[in-house]
A and B are shown apart, each in its own frame.
Chain A
Amino acid sequence: MNAHTRRPQGGHMDRSQVLHFSLEGKPLVGFKGDTLASALLANGIRLIGRSFKYHRPRGFLAAGVEEPNGLFTLGSGGRTTPNVVGTTVALYDGLIAHRQNAWPSVEWDWMAINSLLAPLLSAGFYYKTFMGPCKGSWMFYEPFIRRAAGLGRARHIKDPDRYDTRHAHTDVAVIGAGPAGLAAALQAGRRGARVTLIEQDSLLGGCLLSESSPALTEWRQQVMAELASLPRVKILTHTTALGLYDGHTLALVERRDASAADPTRGQAREVVITLRTRALILATGAIERPLVFGNNDLPGVMLHSAVHTYSERFALNLGSRILCATNNNSVYASACALAQHGAEVIIADSRPHIDQALMESARAVQIRVLTDAQLISAQGRRHVRAATLAVAGQSRPTTLPCDLLTLSGGWNPTVHLSSHTGIAPVYRAAVDAFVPGRYASGHYGAGAIHGCYALPEVIREGATAGQDAAMQAGYPQPVDVIAIPAVSTVPYAFELPRTAYPRTRQKAFVDFQTDVTTQDLTIAHEEGFVSVEHLKRYTTLGMGTDQGKTSNVNGIQHMAALRDVPIPSAGTTTFRPPYTPVSIGALAGRRVGQHFRPIRRSPLHDWHATHGGVFTEAGPWLRVWYYQWAGSSVESAYLEEMRVVRQGVGLSDVSSLGKIDIQGPDAAEFLNRVYVNGFAKLPIGKARYGVMLNDDGTVLDDGTTARFSDTQYFMTTTTAQAVEVMSRLEFLTQQVWPELAVNVTSLSDQWAGLCIAGPKARAVLQNAFPTLDSSDAAIPYMGAREASLGEVPLRLLRLSFSGELAYELYVPSEYGQALWEHLLVAGAHLGIQPYGLEALASLRIEKGHVAGLELDHRNTLDDLGLGKMASRDKAYIGRALSQRPGLKAMDRWSLVGLRLTTTGSPLRGGAVLFAKDEPLTGHGRGYITSVTWSTELNQYIALALYQGGLRHEGEEIVCAYPLKNEYTRATIVSPVFIDPSGARLHV
């Protein structure tokens, strides 16, 4: 550790805890309480990166979240995180850091040659040069540009760390734990409110951490002690408020250092917290504004407040000859502190007249004050060694040697969160700053966020905000107002920037991170960019990962000067979440891999998994695709399963179907209004196939509904539409026909569904339920029975999706597996086997039953060949709009069957259909929706939607699948490929 840099005493580090870390593999040490930035500076490392475009050497400008230059890649392997701001990283043992954007090294960077190309890299350079006139030029140049101009790189290795999500509630959220936030939290806490105090830093105190005044130090300690004693006050450090949203909701990210979170013990490295609050207090402070002059990006040129923080909080002497350039009062007290630590300090104040008391305080510690002094440029190669100023009364510029140049161009209140709510910041001339336009209802602000900088006043504002917010949140009991420390301050005063920046041949940076200079802004102005939003995009001002925290206001001021308009007329920019960059891992939380979205499983899932079931995703469902008894791949297995159903008997799990209980005296009337076909006269003990339409006349869903008593019905829906149909029925009963005495209840999760299908299905049923009369007379086609398996109620419907004799059986979910196993035993001697989704789908294609692939919410009943079902004698939902001329046109895409006529390539789902002799261009006349190999017909068959539908029956058409360069021919046939008379259903 460089003894010349770090003083032997002082600061907020814990010097008893020495931490080891590395930069580019070089071992270094720091203390607990250091940031990566303060530890590097303590080790004498000043050069921390190369700039984005020109690869100029850069050092730290700041000490907090506003840092534009100090970006590092942290960690290694899957734990690598690029673009981490070094000033915000709490140092931990074992930290691995690398500097970015330099090759082969930051000290000797080949890409610095970009500096010589600087005239080419000005505003709009990329647009003008690579976007035209020659098409494709961007494609050619892009990889080179991306390599030369860039930030850190993400890795393609899986991140082993764990990230989490938390939901939280509070009465009063306080964002920022500086003097205003501490006062607000304590005042609200005294009222008994649940308070959540959110601080991005590792320590509470904000600017108080850089104060050496005993009164303030003591005040901070007392407030922290009382906060800790209040059980309803929750303090979140290392936690950033990323965004403020409607409904008093905050998105926070809590960052734990990589060494403290062990994923193998379930500990998360970062947690995104959604905090809902009744009231919130913005005590987000302000960020110092740099000055703009030539070479203002040299290492050793820093924000004055940052130098003060490094000096007081981290006990670092960063310079021995310090030049402080300012246009306001805020630097004097801290400059005196720097002088007291032994530095030779000169203040260059751009104002001609300065408060006498300030002048005297500076002189008392041998600080020389130059008035009416304007910085022109800084000199030095890798570090500042002198600065040139224009001083009033001197005919030529003065050059002063210095090894640290500090800047204070005033303050930018941190208005980001208030801006997230859609309230634009407004320029307040009295403090030369943008402040929140107003506070939304239930929001309060305190301190520097609206330009209040004098400490006793800041604390008083905080206490008032805490009082008001607690009241708003329902805690009206008055309590003692917290103590206000007795400190004297000089009122904040400043000079507005001069009309334009001093002319210099050197680059004067406005945005350090994206390398935007005054020259770029001037070019944009000359090319006619007047809107700040356009200016940003053209020059990339404020478009870096720091979102222009140090650059936006300077850019707006420069633009206003060029246009010769006041600052409010030049506009402001919109801030959007996140306030600081957030890792994708934190946003994803646990929603990765299998947990990306919820998975629905059948109650029989475990049986399938242990009996050779191979699963596939069907919407949110995991369903059995095929069983391994039938083959080792789906291509062979589903054919075997189909054969079993067509020739013997198969058993399948249809639990994913929607199941809805409909009860009430008006249930029949209700169903009669919902379905296009008549349901009023459905007898008890019978089921009926039904179709329902959307209001606009297109088909919503199909399914069957069975009647079990005068007032009780049992509806099934398709798997795909189960959720929507249920919601629709609830809408109709609650909002449209509240006068109907009917209730609907979802049974989808409560009942398991099984299907026995095949010519031997009845024999299985007889064996399984010896006491049940399952003859054709007792349970005819479309018959519905209630039965029982022991004590367990059972519903039995004789209906068929596959075209064979088939029964659907429903039992409470917890008995699904018992019934399944019972049926397998009962059918063992008949060769019963389970079959999966692929076979189920293929069986229905042979039979021409439409399913989700055909039902795309655009087809009409006629399109699907169901037109005859619609009743002419009653009203039903969607009836009026189904009569629209466009839906009755003859050339609509309608359901047809296709038989492959050529050999070689198979039919493919999604193939585009064309008439035989027309050119194969455009969108064609339809497409194939479902394809299967037919075991009955021994050829590929398909269902398709084709323009004009079955009016083209018998025609040969072309099926184009250009992705595989396949062009096959098929003949249009009836979609019912097998058993068109339905003889197999009535055995």
Chain B
Amino acid sequence: MLRIPCPHCGLRDYTEFQYGGDASKIRPVHTEECLAPWHDHVFLFDNPKGVHREYWQHRLGCRQWLIIDRHTATNVIEPTTRDPTNSDLMNSDLMNTGRQP
């Protein structure tokens, strides 16, 4: 079973999370009116065999939206790298130890 290290809650089963899509692309600014950038953002995705940056929400936990680098072939998750609201937590020791109950 895929297990995800939540920086707030520790290492948890993926069943507590909801996949939230590709996080590797930058969302167009809110006021962007052109179709093309929105089209690319909403409809065009790579399907890599390898590390994929993706959103997961810890719905049955802290409800934080996480950005996770997951290897699509091995399910190995690299330490989380980017969270605009919680950068301090992301770099804390919890990340590395994967606190277990």
Contacts and interface: CB of A to CB of B under 8 A. Distances in A.
Interface of A: 169, 245-249, 274, 276, 278, 422, 673, 695-696, 727, 730-731, 734-738, 875, 877, 879-881, 883-884
A879 B63 contact: no
A884 B42 CA distance: 13
Nearest to A744: B63
A696 B75 CA distance: 29
Contact of B38 (A278, A673, A695, A734): A695
B20 interface: yes
Contacts of B41: 695
Given A731-B55, A881-B42, A246 B3 contact: yes
Contact of A730 (B30, B43, B57): B57
A696 B74 CA distance: 31
Interface string B56-95: 0101000111010000011100000001110000000000
B42 A246 contact: no
A879 B1 contact: no
Contacts of B35: 880-881, 883-884
Among A247, A696, A730, A731, residue most surrounded by chain B Cβ atoms (within 10 Å): A247
Q: Interface range on chain B: under 10, 10 to 19, 20 to 34, or 35 or more? A: 20 to 34
A99 B18 CA distance: 47
Given A731-B20, A881-B39, A249 B30 contact: no
B31 A247 contact: no
Nearest to B2: A246
Contacts of A695: 38, 41-42
Contacts, number: 74
A737 B1 CA distance: 32
Given A880-B28, A884-B35, 14 more contacts: A246-B1, A246-B2, A247-B2, A247-B3, A247-B13, A247-B75, A422-B74, A695-B38, A695-B41, A696-B42, A731-B55, A731-B65, A734-B85, A735-B85
A880 B38 contact: yes
A727 B1 contact: no
A488 B70 CA distance: 49
Nearest to A874: B31
A884 B38 CA distance: 11
Interface in B33-59: 33-35, 38-39, 41-43, 55, 57, 59
B84 A738 contact: yes
22 contacts: A246-B74, A248-B3, A274-B1, A276-B3, A276-B100, A278-B100, A695-B38, A695-B42, A696-B43, A727-B57, A727-B59, A730-B63, A731-B57, A735-B65, A735-B67, A735-B83, A735-B85, A736-B30, A737-B30, A875-B31, A880-B28, A881-B39
A727 B34 contact: no
Interface of B: 1-3, 13, 18, 20, 27-28, 30-35, 38-39, 41-43, 55, 57, 59, 63-65, 67, 73-75, 83-85, 100-101
Contact of A738 (B2, B31, B85): B85
Contacts of A877: 30
Nearest to B57: A727
Contacts of B30: 673, 736-737, 875, 877
Contact of B100 (A169, A246, A738, A879): A169
A880 B32 contact: yes
Contacts of A696: 42-43
Contacts of B39: 881
Contacts of B31: 875
Contacts of A883: 35
B57 to A, nearest CB: 6
Contacts of B2: 246-247
B78 to A, nearest CB: 14
Please provide the 8 A-B residue pairs with the shortest distance between their CB atoms, ordered closest to farther: A247-B3, A249-B1, A246-B75, A880-B38, A738-B84, A875-B31, A734-B65, A738-B85
Contacts of B75: 246-247
A587 to B, nearest CB: 15
Nearest to A246: B75
B99 to A, nearest CB: 12
A883 B34 CA distance: 10
A280 to B, nearest CB: 14
A274 B35 CA distance: 47
B36 to A, nearest CB: 9
A249 B18 contact: no
Among A248, A727, A735, A881, residue most surrounded by chain B Cβ atoms (within 10 Å): A735
A673 B27 CA distance: 15
B33 A875 contact: yes
A731 B63 CA distance: 10
A21 B68 CA distance: 57
Contact of A880 (B34, B64, B85): B34
Nearest to B97: A474
Nearest to B38: A880
Contacts of A884: 35
Contacts of B28: 880
Contacts of B73: 422
